[in-house]
Amino acid sequence: MCFAPEADLATGIVVGVVGIDALRHVSRPQQVVLAAIPLVLGAHELDEAVVWWGLRGQVSWPITHAAIYIFLTIAFTLPFLVPLATMGIERVVRRRKLMTALLAVGTITTGTLLLAIIQGPVGACIQGHHIDYSAQINYGNLLVALYVLATCGSMLIASNRLLVLFGVANLGAVIALGWLTFTGFTSLWCAWTAVTSVAIAIYLRRVDPSDVTAGNLLRSG
């Protein structure tokens, strides 16, 4: 997710601290999944630091191999976690139903990808300024499209305008950062991981618990 193990390590620590802050500001159970995402992303960053060290020969291969599996498992779980998290904070019933459809897409995508890494083999190698992960995945282009749809789409259909704006920014970041990684120039996903985590923490700090009532949850507009 980043261009060096030191960057992954630093980002993982910072994002982890942000994640703890996010959990401290949860005002209702439905927000827990959203608040937990920074901690998941922080663990993702720390895990990749281990992969870097392993590929450089500084960590034993069994530990490196396990870290590769952990990295892919977290990455492939996000299409399920993101729409589940947005559903927890959405107040409009009609939009929650649309998010349910995206959650179904994410569940199928996550299940298919996790099955691929269970069946193996998986691998990783250093390519310039990023790590290139590999797995035996069929219909890769389709799964990439479903992955993006599940992780970006739920924010784009949210009733909260700030979430929609972040969804647009997220989609742009995915395209731009994906291109940078694909071309082998560098990987800056860690920077967007930090931005995303801070945005979640700020949202949870600013949300008004009194605004989340049974009446709001039953809005259909």
Question: Closest Cα partner for 65 from 19, 117, 124, 7?
Answer: 124
Given a cut of 70, whether residue 7 has pLDDT beyond it is: yes
Residue with tokens 């199928």: 108
Averaged pLDDT for residues 187-196: 81
User: Which DSSP letter does residue 123 get?
Assistant: E
Q: Quick one: pLDDT at residue 187?
A: 61
Mean pLDDT of the chain: 87
Q: Quick one: pLDDT at residue 192?
A: 82
Tens digits of residue pLDDT in 49-65: 999 999 999 999 999 99
Q: Quick one: pLDDT at residue 216?
A: 46
Highest mean pLDDT among 79-88, 126-135, 156-165, 181-190: 79-88
3-state DSSP assignment of residue 208: coil
Contact 177, 14 (CB under 8 A): no
- Separation of alpha carbons 7 and 42, rounded Å: 12
- Separation of alpha carbons 220 and 95, rounded Å: 8
Is pLDDT larger for residue 186 or for residue 151?
151
Tens digits of residue pLDDT in 79-120: 999 999 999 899 899 999 999 999 999 999 999 999 999 998
Question: Closest Cα partner for 6 from 53, 40, 67?
Answer: 53
